[in-house]
Structure 1
Amino acid sequence: MTVSVGKIVPLSAKRTWFLSAVLAAFGTVVCLGIAGFRANLTPSEPLGLWRIINLDRAVRIGDLVFVCPPVTDIMREARRRGYLRRGLCAGDIAPLIKTVAAASGQVVEIDGDVHIDGKRLPLSQVMLMDGQGRRLVPYGGGVVPSDAVYLHSDFPGSFDSRYFGPLPTENILGLAQEVWTYAP
């Protein structure tokens, strides 16, 4: 019985360079991810590079935070519709960058706009249809539960607590810090 040994063909210099560049880029992305850096590709906040900063205190109204959405039917549908990107949170969802607009015990009312403890939240109009004409179901309002926050973005088309309600504070990864961003 004879065994044929295949010929080993060396990679061309261009292929070697390209493969090296791809591996270097991948390695850089992995290292930046481990160091807490994230790319924001949605218009809810400026586009670009952000960093997750450890939150060594209680979360406050006005904090800009990274938060992992819980795996719920609302979030699965949002992912299916393309409102949420792929990422490292449970359910293969990317963390959101949102501002804490209300905390435990505060009352959220929705009547076309969001009101927190009776005061209108600026830039909070609730949409009933998304950009593709699909129905959006607004959060019904109520008291923000213990250990939860109501999250908001000033961007009119943002998918935030106007639609999914308060999220647990345990889902907050940390404060969101702009590193290198561009606001279109």
Structure 2
Amino acid sequence: MTGWARSRRRAKPQQAQVAVILSTALLAIVLVVVAGLTSGYRINLTPSEPLGLWRIVPLSRPAAVNDMVFICPPATADMLEARARGYLRSGSCPGGVAPLIKTVIAIKGQHVEIGARVSVDGRDVSSSALAQRDGRGRPLAPFPSDIVPPGHVFLHSPFPGSYDSRYFGPLPASGILGLAQEVLTYEP
């Protein structure tokens, strides 16, 4: 037997060991991700809030102003259009989108005025200037000013390019998954 044939026979068991190690590592990663998702952990990859690991904390009361929440937007035509434009990521919410992380800035009965900026009950909301166009130059239409209806919340993110209630209006509070709690995050 040549030296080449002997080295090929030794390589097969080594390749098998590498394949077993890689398969085991991949299975471990999948199990960690599944366990994290079922335990309420999510990874935020959008610039609306700090990047990193977040936790959904159950909310046993109605949402209040200044609560930062995870919320599933309803599968409406507007949200499907937002998904098609790339404003919403893929995920487990209705319509196949990921939950949003936003801060509640108004609840039922509060008046939201949307002009060049947003105000709630006459008080300006910081970092709420409206964009006329998205990052690709497509026009953005602001949601009309109105009173937040019962069972809904008005959401905001201070990130300038955030797609939030300034553009899609109040969302049903029934879509709230829980409070958003930072676990391990990074702000560039």
TM-score band, normalised by the shorter chain? over 0.9
The number of aligned residues is 176
Moved more, 73-82 or 34-43: 73-82
Cross-structure match for 2:6: none
Tell me how far apart the structure 2 counterparts of residues 175 and 15 of structure 1 sit (CA, whole Å): 41
Instruction: Select which of 82, 85, 95 maps to 1:78.
Output: 82
1:133-180 deviation line (CA, Å, top 9, x unaligned)? 011111111000001110000001000000100001111000000000
Gaps of 5+ in 1: 1-8
Cross-structure match for 1:20: 24
Helix, strand or coil at the partner of 1:109: strand
Instruction: Select which of 142, 165, 172 maps to 2:169.
Output: 165
Tell me how far apart the structure 2 counterparts of residues 173 and 42 of structure 1 sit (CA, whole Å): 18
Larger Rg: 2
Instruction: Extract structure 1 runs of 4+ deviating beyond 4 A.
Output: none
- TM-score, with length taken from structure 2: 0.91
- Tell me the amino acid that sits aligned with residue 80 of structure 2: R
Query: RMSD in angstroms over aligned alpha carbons?
Result: 1.2
Tell me how far apart the structure 2 counterparts of residues 167 and 101 of structure 1 sit (CA, whole Å): 12
Instruction: Select which of 96, 99, 120 maps to 2:103.
Output: 99
Deviation at 1:81, TM superposition (A): 1.4
Tell me how far apart the structure 1 counterparts of residues 176 and 35 of structure 2 sit (CA, whole Å): 21
Helix, strand or coil at the partner of 1:87: coil
Cross-structure match for 2:50: 46
- Overall identity of the aligned pairs, in %: 54
- TM-score, with length taken from structure 1: 0.93
Cross-structure match for 2:91: 87
Tell me how far apart the structure 1 counterparts of residues 163 and 176 of structure 2 sit (CA, whole Å): 17
Cross-structure match for 1:6: none
Cross-structure match for 1:115: 119
Deviation at 1:68, TM superposition (A): 0.2
Tell me how far apart the structure 1 counterparts of residues 153 and 44 of structure 2 sit (CA, whole Å): 21
Cross-structure match for 1:65: 69
Deviation at 1:128, TM superposition (A): 1.2
Tell me how far apart the structure 1 counterparts of residues 109 and 183 of structure 2 sit (CA, whole Å): 33
